[in-house]
A and B are shown apart, each in its own frame.
Chain A
Amino acid sequence: MKLGKQRWVVRSTIVAACAAWLYYWPLFHIIPLKQADKESAAKGASFEPVAFVEGFWEGQLLPGQTRAVDAADLIAAISKDRNAAQRTYGRKVGLSSAYFYFISGTGRVVEIDKHSIGLAISESATDAEVLLETGPIFGNAVRDATGLLDVNNFATSQDFNAVSSEINRRIEADVLPKLREQATVGKTVRFLGCVQIIDEDTDLLPLRAVPIVGEVL
């Protein structure tokens, strides 16, 4: 009789342990279908760079032009002390010796070649001080120069890179054709653009800018 009671206690303990185990670590979860659909959609959701850039362009990039340094001020600062100019106006991304400038201003067209339009910024200048690139546009100058986009806000680096490609595509489609068509030597161009400095010996004068805005006045 005593042995039977002991067996009953052991069995009860095992059942209780199993119940506790299954409570905390169930073999399956039951969730509402709607929730399952949502989770599944979220997991499979892919990043849409075109839609993202559409919103970014109007919502952040164009309004963000107040962040840009005036090209005339930057050129003066660089000619005085390029290291100080970089510290004051430049932007670095991660660990890199390259850096970026986000610039705006107006300039007089002094030269036009296959892939760029040269602008003199100061009235006395005869050579190009800023070269507006007129395509094709490569790299991450616009994505990285403004400080408006941060890799940490994107799920993967591939998404972040896709933003760059789409920004460049959009510039080529929406900004460059009109600029190339209307710019002639002697005309004035208002611009907003991004510059990447990789080699200070060649990239500081003239500044090569990818135009976000390029308006012939």
Chain B
Amino acid sequence: MSLAIALSGCNSDNTTSTGSAETASGKKKIAVIVSTLNNPWFVVLAESAKEHAMRLGYNAVVFDSQNDPANETAHFDNVIASGYSAVLFNPTDADGSVANVRRAKQAGIPVFCMDREINATDAAVSQILSDNYSGCVAIGQCFVKEVGESGEYVELLGLVGDNNTRNRSDGFHSVVDRYPHLKMVAQQSADFDRAKALDAMETILQANPDIKAVFCGNDAMAMGAYQALLAAGKNGQVKIFGFDGADDVVDLIKEGKIVATGMQFPKLMAQTAAEYADKYLNGEQDLQQKVPVAVELVHQGNAEEYVTVDQEDSE
């Protein structure tokens, strides 16, 4: 029926360890290098990758780049020097992370990207990526249906250097920009961060009190926008749209307080990356460079199906 249902058996209850690689007897080691563990969405991604690598018979260790490319580079140095067999990788920057992947490749360590793309097709073995663009086309269509073909709205963007930010915004605007009477009165980056989104929304509301809707590039920012609108007494006036499928947002969709979000599947991406790494290490070379993973529209009519399906929070 849907990816959501197909994944309902997945869970993630193992703990995350950090630091240098263990030297386990006989087992190959897989490194999970993740952009940040300060956001629960990425914790789910990293822990799922680790869990699936371990199920496939590897020792797995998680490295947290703390959204800092310098940390990421240091992790790759460590991984290359410590004899890891493969890297399951969530990059900090689409361009900046390419060099790290190339160094690993030169050292004979295959890299498999999860969720975030790098701007090279000859560096990583495979990239398992959310189809952000298509997901946001669906959100854009829902937006026009719910908000109407005219009115003022606001967009909160994620991290500017991340391709996901651009793809989400492009998908949304590929629909909404076709309606000339829908006017975007503010577009601001809040870095996928709830607190920053709250601040940004408060400021935007002062200058634009008549907006009808806000599209947020992730659910953390949707929650921040919701808080700001609630505090301003405008939560009934302004329709909120998010992206990710975080539990708290899905709950608010059920209650009719947020209109829609796009459900991503971090566990599926992590599992696929781990399986691809295992296949590659066992000699299978014919793996797709990019594997898009569908994003599903969650609205009040189907939100019940998506409760605690695949993830705990938002990117």
Looking at the assembled complex, report how far the CB atom of B261 sits from the nearest CB atom of chain A, in whole angstroms.
16
Report the nearest B residue to A201, measured CB to CB: B1
| Given A94-B131, A95-B294, A96-B293, CB of A158 within 8 Å of CB of B170 | yes
Q: Mark B181-212, 1 if CB is under 8 A from A, else 0.
A: 00000000000000000000000000000000
Question: For A136, A161, A165, A168, which residue has the most chain B Cβ atoms within 10 angstroms?
Answer: A161
- Across the interface, B167 reaches (CB within 8 A) one of A93, A96, A152, A161, namely A161
Collect the chain A residues with CB atoms within 8 Å of residue B241's CB.
none
| Given A138-B140, A157-B129, CB of A94 within 8 Å of CB of B291 | yes
Inter-chain contact A161/B170, CB cutoff 8 Å: yes
Collect the chain B residues with CB atoms within 8 Å of residue A162's CB.
170
Q: Does A124 contact B (CB under 8 A)?
A: no
Collect the chain A residues with CB atoms within 8 Å of residue B24's CB.
none
Inter-chain contact B171/A97, CB cutoff 8 Å: no
Collect the chain B residues with CB atoms within 8 Å of residue A140's CB.
133-134, 137
Inter-chain contact B140/A93, CB cutoff 8 Å: no
Looking at the assembled complex, report how far the CB atom of B168 sits from the nearest CB atom of chain A, in whole angstroms.
11
Inter-chain contact B1/A97, CB cutoff 8 Å: yes
Collect the chain A residues with CB atoms within 8 Å of residue B121's CB.
152, 155
Collect the chain A residues with CB atoms within 8 Å of residue B170's CB.
158, 161-162, 165
Report the nearest A residue to B133, measured CB to CB: A161
- Across the interface, B137 reaches (CB within 8 A) one of A93, A139, A156, namely A139
Collect the chain B residues with CB atoms within 8 Å of residue A136's CB.
175, 178
Collect the chain A residues with CB atoms within 8 Å of residue B171's CB.
161
Q: Does A151 contact B (CB under 8 A)?
A: yes
Looking at the assembled complex, report how far the CB atom of B245 sits from the nearest CB atom of chain A, in whole angstroms.
15
Report the nearest A residue to B171, measured CB to CB: A161
Whole-angstrom distance between the alpha carbons of A157 and B1 in the complex?
Answer: 27
B-contacting residues, A99-136, CB 8 Å? 136
Looking at the assembled complex, report how far the CB atom of A178 sits from the nearest CB atom of chain B, in whole angstroms.
20
Q: Does B103 contact A (CB under 8 A)?
A: no
Report the nearest A residue to B179, measured CB to CB: A136
| Given A96-B292, A151-B290, A158-B166, CB of A138 within 8 Å of CB of B3 | no
Q: Does B163 contact A (CB under 8 A)?
A: yes
Collect the chain B residues with CB atoms within 8 Å of residue A168's CB.
174
Whole-angstrom distance between the alpha carbons of A155 and B122 in the complex?
Answer: 10
Looking at the assembled complex, report how far the CB atom of A39 sits from the nearest CB atom of chain B, in whole angstroms.
16
Whole-angstrom distance between the alpha carbons of A140 and B129 in the complex?
Answer: 16
Q: Does A98 contact B (CB under 8 A)?
A: yes
Report the nearest B residue to A93, measured CB to CB: B292
Inter-chain contact A165/B131, CB cutoff 8 Å: no
Whole-angstrom distance between the alpha carbons of A136 and B174 in the complex?
Answer: 11
Question: For A93, A97, A157, which residue has the most chain B Cβ atoms within 10 angstroms?
Answer: A157
Q: Does B312 contact A (CB under 8 A)?
A: no
Inter-chain contact B117/A157, CB cutoff 8 Å: yes
Inter-chain contact B133/A95, CB cutoff 8 Å: no
| Given A138-B141, A138-B175, CB of A94 within 8 Å of CB of B163 | no
Whole-angstrom distance between the alpha carbons of A164 and B289 in the complex?
Answer: 20
Whole-angstrom distance between the alpha carbons of A152 and B122 in the complex?
Answer: 10
- Across the interface, B294 reaches (CB within 8 A) one of A97, A152, A155, A157, namely A97
Collect the chain A residues with CB atoms within 8 Å of residue B133's CB.
140, 157, 161, 164
Report the nearest B residue to A168, measured CB to CB: B174
Looking at the assembled complex, report how far the CB atom of B62 sits from the nearest CB atom of chain A, in whole angstroms.
23
B-contacting residues, A148-191, CB 8 Å? 151-152, 155-158, 161-162, 164-165, 168
What are 27 A-B contacts with C-beta separation under 8 Å? Answer: A94-B131, A94-B291, A95-B128, A95-B268, A95-B294, A96-B3, A96-B294, A97-B296, A138-B141, A139-B137, A140-B137, A151-B292, A152-B121, A152-B289, A152-B290, A155-B120, A155-B121, A156-B117, A156-B163, A157-B133, A157-B163, A157-B292, A158-B163, A158-B167, A158-B170, A164-B133, A168-B174
**Chain B residues proximal to chain A, CB less than 8 Å:** 1-3, 6, 94, 117, 119-121, 128-129, 131-134, 137-138, 140-141, 163, 166-167, 170-171, 174-175, 178, 265, 268, 272, 288-294, 296
Closest 4 interchain pairs by CB? A96-B294, A94-B292, A161-B133, A152-B289
